[in-house]
Amino acid sequence: MNSLLRHKGWTWGFRSTILLYFVVLIVLPILGVYYNSFSLGFTNFVESISDPIAWRSVLLTLRLAFIAAIINVALGTMIAWVLVRYKFPGRPLLNSMVDLPFALPTAVGGLMILLLLGPGSLIGGAAESLGLEIVFHQPAIVIAMVFVTFPFVIRAVQPLLEELDPSEEEAAYTMGAKGIRVFRQVILPAMAPGMIGGGMLAFSRALAEFGAVVLVAGNIPGRTLVSSVFIYGEVESDNGVGAAAVSIILLTLSFLILWLINVAQMRGRRR
């Protein structure tokens, strides 16, 4: 078996298959989006991007995705800390439920939010009585983004906490450091790469969320119309160029974020 794996012909075929798979499923669709966005010329592309509804949807998406990422960094870090540092009944179940947003269709997540926080629900009705509007407004979009990106920070911080040598904390306490100082100078630097990387992945994923958002957003231009829903509307209106123009903005941003994460990870390994 080992001699077969080392055979040059088999190796060449395996690499060619992987490259073909990568090109067909990733490279060609990306190039297709870029091609369609410029198919009618650069002037038409600029006009599509300059459309007030288009760029407002992009700015709104960036702002809400950033808020969702910040919330996930805070909550995800705390949840990872609890899962690693504490033992309690139901801990394995809670740990397995962290990945639930990955397994569920995002439309199901949106429906769950709609049923939980909608006008006819107990929580939604109580919020309305207090003058708070959730569903079909920006808070619901943020909640949907937080739900679908929930696992990223937790799964990025968990292994870092598990690999943290307890002797480093013990040494800090032995030298007279207090709890807050130990956390700030020993624990936080160890968790920081996971917090930053997980937060960036959550932000990138939230930019493109559609299934959960479309059910809870009001789709009002400039207020609740996010980029993914705008793109869907443009496709439905047979404006593929306009949809592709906004798509490459999100695509380019996501690519830059992933590139920054890979660069940071490579530098961390070299150290």
Rounded to whole angstroms, the Cα distance separating 133 from 119 reads 9
As given in the structure block, the two tokens for residue 92 are: 């394995």
Q: Measured on CA atoms in the order 246, 138, 155, 75, is the torsion positive or negative? A: positive
Q: What is the pLDDT of residue 172?
A: 66
Per-domain residue ranges for the chain? 8-38, 52-269
pTM of the model: 0.84
Q: What is the pLDDT of residue 79?
A: 92
Rounded to whole angstroms, the Cα distance separating 38 from 45 reads 6
Q: What is the pLDDT of residue 221?
A: 82
Q: What angle do CA 257, 263, 269 make, to 5 degrees?
A: 135
Rounded to whole angstroms, the Cα distance separating 137 from 144 reads 11
Q: Which fold has domain 52-269?
A: MetI-like fold (1.10.3720)
Rounded to whole angstroms, the Cα distance separating 196 from 153 reads 8
Q: What is the pLDDT of residue 152?
A: 93
What is the tens place of the pLDDT at every residue in 137-158?
888 999 999 999 989 999 999 9
pLDDT in single tens digits along all 271 residues of the chain: 455 555 555 667 777 788 888 788 778 888 888 887 777 777 777 777 778 888 899 899 999 999 999 999 999 999 999 998 888 888 889 888 888 888 888 888 888 888 888 877 888 788 877 778 788 888 899 999 999 998 999 999 999 888 887 766 667 666 666 667 777 777 888 888 889 889 988 998 998 888 889 888 877 887 888 998 898 888 888 888 888 888 888 888 888 888 887 777 676 555 5
Backbone angles phi, psi at 120, to 5 degrees: -85, -5
Q: What is the pLDDT of residue 142?
A: 93
